Structure 1
Amino acid sequence: MGKNAVVLFNLGGPDSLDSVEPFLYNLFQDPDIFKIPVGQKLFAKIISSRRAPKVVEEYKLIGGKSPINEWTERQRSMLEEKLNQTGSRYDVYTAMRYWKPFTEEAAKKIESGNYDKVVMLPLYPHYSITTTGSSFNEWKRKYRGPEDKFIYIDHYPTHEKYIAALNQRIDETIERFPEDVRDKIHLVFSAHGTPVYLVKKGDPYSLQIKETMEAVMKARNYSHPYHLCFQSKVGPQKWLEPATDDMIKKLASEGHKHLLVIPVSFVSDHIETSFELDIEYRHVADECGIENYFVMTGLNDSPLFIEALYDLVIKNLPPE
């Protein structure tokens, strides 16, 4: 029996309030997101020190650290356990882009592991140069060893089990609404935005987000009215629209009072869901007169989502 490995790629997040500023520094240093021709390290240092106090306050409201680290570790261990039930040997590692465990740590383990095949599996179902592309580029910078063993999976926006996992979470959230308003709910799909110039350059992310949304709605037989919007804008550039807070205001102005917000581009809860959607935009909803505002729990430890990851690994490995 051979020995294979899986590397799960994710963003990472600060594991304490003290790590917020260095985490932001690593983020703003990323040339795949912020293209600064000269002095990127200085730019990253200035911006991260300016933004850190505000971001620290946000993390204080969600427990003092990012939940993405624990959820990613849970996903890693669940996937490893499921893969090892096949009878073959699998090791699953995490490579975080901006915080620990860093990509370099996973790369060293793969270099010394003597694996037959290594499946490179992002925890981003939708491909963007700013997420999967950046993670793969960082891997290629850090890894020293033979590359013929790698199998790259760069997107899976309509994978049946992933769509089923989203719908299971949506159904669980609908049950939190008062029974008499459940047929009046509007589903608000909120994705992390990207600058519009990336779309013009051919970045497929926004199209793949739409594919996911349509697959979710088709699978649930278009049970409710639905909308797509984008969050987390940074900087002065034009980003994908409409913005999530604008969508909330628009729906309220049209007389819709019951919103179920679906974080569609994230597979675990972190600051963009736990603070931005569940705290910051809840204030927007309250001010607009929304009566029921619920944010879907992230996929986190969803067994259906782990089945999707398992399926992606098994189906992309050559038969033994």
Structure 2
Amino acid sequence: MAKKGVLLVNLGTPDSPSTADVRKYLDEFLMDPRVIDVNAALRTFLVKAIIVPFRAPKSAKLYQAIWNNETGSPLKYYSILQQKALQQRLGDGYMVELAMRYQSPSIESALQNLKDALVSEIQVIALFPQYASASTGSVHEKVMGIVKDWQTVPNIMFTNSFHDNELMIDTFVDNAAKHQPETYDHILFSFHGLPQRQLKKCDHTQSYCLKVDGCCNTLNDTNKFCYSAQSHDTARLIAAKMQLPRDKYTVCFQSRLGNDPWVQPYTIEIIKQMAEQGKKRLLVFCPAFVSDCLETVYEVTTEYGDEFKALGGEHVQLVESLNDSPKWIEALEKMVTPQPPEGGAFD
């Protein structure tokens, strides 16, 4: 019997922390029209002439700070562990491939491996809990752009998002428990940022996003594909599991690039506000990431931690990402092999 294929796709990472490899990675990443969604000529000028030449040497130093000489970048290391663990759980009836949207291993090579194995179908899971055009959408577009040239295209399924996956939520809660969250003054749910214009593009009615007060406070048919709304939903679910009162936590967004308005509030501004309010200890979740990476290990722990201390705070503690938690691997398994509902035909 033919195997079923599973393609896990994470964002990507440089092949090394050298400036040359970081430049190559940033160039591929930022030239994606879903990432910098402006006209091609302007995007090329911004990326090739301004952003990459100035950002690559700085980013290389940051990657060097988190790089392990044996295992490489945390994101790739944990992505490989996830792929291996999922393969083990699914068994011989499945073939699990790992790819990065940018750099290696490439989506092209992973799909070719699945094609060569004559898999009967392919399930694509972009490893981004909340849907965004610049992440999940880009992965889906890349996959479709490749398979459209195949003479025989197997059944292909795409996982749009898993922002409310219960096992994922439980894993974040378990990871937080290790740090005794009750001992912290405030908790931040810091998600990766996006330009506001990208949020507006997901509002196909053009009448809801950023025009309705508190539009992200509930998830509905209008904003169900909105990255910000899904992010708030993830935070609400984690907070509910932890029995956190609403005034105990804040949802915010990090990693802003450029001068255009991004989804707010910005994490760095919330850090400053917490210091001004006399808060001393902050616990920070980053639920947009399934693997620890530059944005979690360095941006939160080092950059925000140093900034908070400089403003009078004492400690910023990162809640580890899902990484290779068995419960998270179980979540992936159930995405691939959904369980029949209780009281169904299998009873």
Alignment TM-score, normalising by the size of structure 1: 0.91
1:282 maps to amino acid: G
Distance, in Å, in 1 between the alignment partners of 2:76 and 2:196 is: 29
2:317 maps to 1:299: no
Q: Is the Cα–Cα contact under 8 Å of residues 17 and 67 in structure 2 kept in the other structure?
A: no
Q: Is the Cα–Cα contact under 8 Å of residues 184 and 283 in structure 2 kept in the other structure?
A: no
Secondary structure (helix, strand or coil) at the match of 1:6 reads: strand
Distance, in Å, in 1 between the alignment partners of 2:240 and 2:104 is: 38
2:165 maps to amino acid: H
Distance, in Å, in 2 between the alignment partners of 1:36 and 1:160 is: 36
2:159 maps to 1:153: yes
2:197 maps to 1:200: no
Matched pairs, number: 309
Secondary structure (helix, strand or coil) at the match of 1:11 reads: strand
The corresponding residue for 2:274 is: 251
Secondary structure (helix, strand or coil) at the match of 1:309 reads: helix
Between 38-47 and 6-15, the greater mean CA deviation after superposition: 38-47
| Structure 1 position 313, deviation (Å) | 0.6
Q: Is the Cα–Cα contact under 8 Å of residues 119 and 313 in structure 1 kept in the other structure?
A: yes
| Structure 2 residue corresponding to 1:211, chosen from 233, 240, 244 | 233
The corresponding residue for 1:221 is: 243
1:220 maps to amino acid: M
Distance, in Å, in 2 between the alignment partners of 1:272 and 1:26 is: 18
The corresponding residue for 2:217 is: none
| Structure 2 residue corresponding to 1:33, chosen from 32, 35, 40 | 35
Alignment TM-score, normalising by the size of structure 2: 0.84
The corresponding residue for 1:178 is: none
The corresponding residue for 1:114 is: 118
Residue-by-residue CA offset, 1:163-222 (whole Å, 9 max, x unaligned): 1011011111227xxxxxx34431111000101111122251111111111111111222
The corresponding residue for 1:44 is: 47
Are residues 100 and 184 of structure 1, via their aligned partners in 2, closer, same or farther at CA, if it must alter by over 3 Å?
Answer: closer
Q: Is the Cα–Cα contact under 8 Å of residues 127 and 204 in structure 1 kept in the other structure?
A: yes
Residue-by-residue CA offset, 1:54-98 (whole Å, 9 max, x unaligned): 1111112212753111110011000110111xxx51111112111
Secondary structure (helix, strand or coil) at the match of 1:133 reads: helix
1:11 maps to amino acid: L
Q: Is the Cα–Cα contact under 8 Å of residues 15 and 69 in structure 1 kept in the other structure?
A: no
1:131 maps to amino acid: S
Secondary structure (helix, strand or coil) at the match of 2:62 reads: helix
Residue-by-residue CA offset, 1:29-48 (whole Å, 9 max, x unaligned): 10111134243455433332
Are residues 139 and 251 of structure 1, via their aligned partners in 2, closer, same or farther at CA, if it must alter by over 3 Å?
Answer: same
Structure 2, unpaired ranges of 5+: 203-224
2:26 maps to 1:24: yes
| Structure 2 residue corresponding to 1:91, chosen from 92, 95, 111 | 95
Q: Is the Cα–Cα contact under 8 Å of residues 151 and 316 in structure 1 kept in the other structure?
A: no
The corresponding residue for 2:308 is: 285
Distance, in Å, in 1 between the alignment partners of 2:281 and 2:38 is: 43
Q: Is the Cα–Cα contact under 8 Å of residues 132 and 227 in structure 2 kept in the other structure?
A: yes
1:237 maps to amino acid: D
Secondary structure (helix, strand or coil) at the match of 1:92 reads: strand
Distance, in Å, in 1 between the alignment partners of 2:265 and 2:161 is: 24
Secondary structure (helix, strand or coil) at the match of 2:189 reads: strand
Q: Is the Cα–Cα contact under 8 Å of residues 68 and 268 in structure 1 kept in the other structure?
A: yes
2:84 maps to 1:77: yes
Distance, in Å, in 2 between the alignment partners of 1:308 and 1:149 is: 22
Distance, in Å, in 1 between the alignment partners of 2:142 and 2:264 is: 29
RMSD in angstroms over aligned alpha carbons?
2.0
Structure 1, unpaired ranges of 5+: 176-181
1:25 maps to amino acid: D
